[in-house]
Amino acid sequence: MANVVIVVDEDRIRRVAFIDAITPRLAPVDGLVTGASSCGDFSVVWAAEPRAPISQVGDDTGAAVIWGEAIRGPG
C-alpha cells in the first residue's frame, strides 16, 4: 500500500503549505512511513510500508521516485 500526492505549483509558499498540511494525513494506518522529494515547482510526498521498495532522488536538476521493483523476465 502506498499513498502518493504530487504537486506542481509555481507558488512555492502555497506548494510548501499544502505539502506540510497533507503529509501528516498520508498514513491512514499505523506503521506506514512518509517520504518526500522535490525540485523546482514539483513536489511529491508518500506514505508506504517500511519495507516497500522505494528509490528517490531530488536535487537542483530534477526529481524522480520509483515505487516497486523491476521484475526480470515476462512475469
Measured CA to CA, the distance from residue 28 to residue 21 in angstroms comes to 14
> What pLDDT, on a 0 to 100 scale, did the predictor assign at position 13?
96
- pTM given for the model: 0.80
Residues 6+ apart with CB under 8 A from 31: 49, 50
Q: Which of 22-26, 63-67, 71-75 has the lowest mean pLDDT?
A: 71-75
Has residue 52 got a pLDDT over 80?
A: yes
Cite the beta strand spans of the chain per DSSP E. Answer: 2-8, 33-39, 42-48, 54-59, 62-67
**Cα of 39 vs its chain's centroid, Å:** 12
